[in-house]
Amino acid sequence: MVRRSSSRLVAAKRSASASRGASGPVALSAGVPASRLATGLAAATGYRLYGVAVTAAGHPGAIAVQAFTTAASGLPQSIAFDDPGNRMLGAFPFDASVAGGPSGQPVVLSSLSQAVCRVDGLRVTLLTAGTCTLRATQAGNALYGASDPVDRSFAVAPPNIAGATLAGSGGRSGAVSGSIWRFTAQSAGFQPASSLPAGPPPGIAFPFGIFSFSLASGTPGSTATLRLDLPQPAPAGATLWKYGRPTAGAAARWYAVAASWSADQRSVSYAVTDGGAGDEDFAVNGIIVDPVAVGVAAAPDDARAVPTLSQAAQALLGLCLAALAAWRMRRRMG
């Protein structure tokens, strides 16, 4: 250790094939170790550290040499992966809560139980009852090594069956028919439009809320017909919208679906096939997950109030009108 407070330390790192440097000298104080961070070093490579003490007058003094080898995997990093908790089949797909380390590389999520659960990005879709095991991995970079894989397992339980009708508040309800399809007990029914992460499409409002449900016990691959009953007639031109993936692998969004309306506009029906378009899991598994909503044209956001006159302007206008009336009266009398 160099103890001269007026000295500086110049550090350089060298190997047989390349050299790396730490920019600028390090000021030394008596009894205080000096440090310098070297970047750009290759993993699993031998280097020599040369320390040269230089006096304030610029004369070199003591020289120290230290050989070292960089680690094969770089600096350690880890993945934070929250336990998803046990789930019930028929639940809407969810996003796994996972965060990577400081390398900045993306966390890659995969399913080790593809018959039970499917992964798209960080979104997890349940396909059948059983145990779902997810694995999160993250690559390293020049400074950080790859994270150790993190696995999370949870149980997927069979759904409980509720019935062919699903009552809601305010005179709203739903019914299903076809191939003994039934609502599951975890079907939420009519919910506020804010219950889903994505708001209504531009120019569309959901005055009756969102009907969130899942169906079970039907013949795999068969078609279910759903009917929504509304407390009052829907406006002319109302449409039915679904939230989810319009095609397998696409991003979730709102999109319009074909539907038929009753003559009084108080009921709307549509058909959805297990594993087909409109079934959120896109799997022929006897489960249909499908939140929908009745959409109407939204009021324009740029509606403006009609400008009005101030009290002073109103008084002035009144005087002008009174003067005009008096002038007309005198003209008729003359």
Distance CA 187, CA 74 (A): 49
Question: Which letter, b or e, does each residue of 305-334 get, where b requires 16 or more Cβ atoms within 10 Å of its Cβ?
Answer: eeeeeeeeeeeeeeeeeeeeeeeeeeeeee
List, for residues 209-257, the tens digit of each pLDDT value. Answer: 999 999 999 999 999 999 999 999 999 999 999 998 898 888 889 999 9
Beta bridge partners of 225: 177, 271
Distance CA 279, CA 282 (A): 5
Residues in the chain: 334
The residues, ordered by sequence, that sit 6+ positions from 248 with a Cβ below 8 Å of its Cβ are 282
Give, as one character, the DSSP assignment of residue 24.
S
- The helix/strand/coil state of 139 is coil
According to the model, what pLDDT value does residue 9 have?
A: 39
Residue recorded with tokens 């993250």 = 138
Could you tell me the maximum CA-CA distance found in the chain, to the nearest angstrom?
121
- Mean pLDDT rounded to a whole number for the chain: 82
The residues, ordered by sequence, that sit 6+ positions from 221 with a Cβ below 8 Å of its Cβ are 273, 274, 275, 284
Q: Percent of the chain scored above 70 by pLDDT?
A: 74
Distance CA 23, CA 43 (A): 20
Q: How far is CA 264 from the centre of its chain?
A: 39
Beta bridge partners of 218: none
- Whether 35 shows a pLDDT value over 60: the answer reads yes
What are the E-state strand segments in 142-266? 150-157, 161-163, 165-167, 173-177, 182-184, 189-191, 204-205, 210-212, 214-216, 223-229, 239-244, 253-257, 260-261
- Whether 305 shows a pLDDT value over 70: the answer reads no
According to the model, what pLDDT value does residue 57 have?
A: 73
- The helix/strand/coil state of 331 is helix
List, for residues 116-169, the tens digit of each pLDDT value. Answer: 999 999 999 999 999 999 999 999 998 999 999 999 999 999 999 999 999 988
DSSP string, 56-114: TTS-EEEEEEEEEE--SS-B----EE-----EETTPPPEE--EE--TT-PPEEEEES-T
The residues, ordered by sequence, that sit 6+ positions from 63 with a Cβ below 8 Å of its Cβ are 50, 51, 52, 53
pLDDT band with cut points at 50, 70 and 90 for residue 290: confident
According to the model, what pLDDT value does residue 2 have?
A: 32
Asked if 213 and 242 touch (Cβ cutoff 8 Å), the reply is: no
- Whether 306 shows a pLDDT value over 60: the answer reads no
Asked if 55 and 27 touch (Cβ cutoff 8 Å), the reply is: no
According to the model, what pLDDT value does residue 55 have?
A: 72
Nearest to 125 by CA among 105, 109, 106, 148: 109
Q: Which two tokens stand for residue 249?
A: 């692998």
Is the pTM above the cut of 0.95? no
Domain 80-157 carries which CATH code? 2.60.40.1080
According to the model, what pLDDT value does residue 89 have?
A: 94
Helix (H) or strand (E) holding 325: helix 311-333
Asked if 249 and 282 touch (Cβ cutoff 8 Å), the reply is: no
According to the model, what pLDDT value does residue 3 have?
A: 35
Kindly tell me the sign of the dihedral angle through the C-alpha atoms of 237, 242, 243, 248: negative
List, for residues 57-115, the tens digit of each pLDDT value. Answer: 777 766 777 787 766 557 999 999 999 999 999 988 899 999 999 999 999 999 999 99
